[in-house]
Structure 1
Amino acid sequence: MSAIEQYLVDSYRAAQHGTPQPPPPGRDDLAVLRSVRTEARFRAVLDGRPAAHPWRAALHRLLHPARPC
């Protein structure tokens, strides 16, 4: 059963029992990703590491390779 089908079943049951409907699938995905990123940055600060985003540093290294001497 897919997430959409499960959501429809849960919505039907909620309507039958008079309870609030469940949130649609995927509604809070971005909020969860943001909180994970914030937690990682917070842990980096506590560990004494820079709080910069690791993907940004990797992208910079990729776009600006070191020049050979």
Structure 2
Amino acid sequence: MHTNGQDRNAAIRPQEMAMLQDVLNQLLREKNVSPTDTRAETLAARIIVLFRSGVRDPEALKLMAG
């Protein structure tokens, strides 16, 4: 996997999307944020930006996005 951001515009594969969704769901539960809240959109955007910049570890994504 790329860790230098070269694939910033590449499609996110289904297994990657599932992992990103899991990270988001965990953060929403921990922060007691509804999925329909605008804060959920902000968290999701942060997670994707971090992922596209090369962060692939779910725990690192949680820590950095949260």
Larger Rg: 1
Give TM class, smaller chain. 0.3 to 0.5
Q: Normalising by the residue count of structure 2, what TM-score does the alignment of the two structures yield?
A: 0.33
Higher relative contact order (CA 8 A, sep 6+): 2
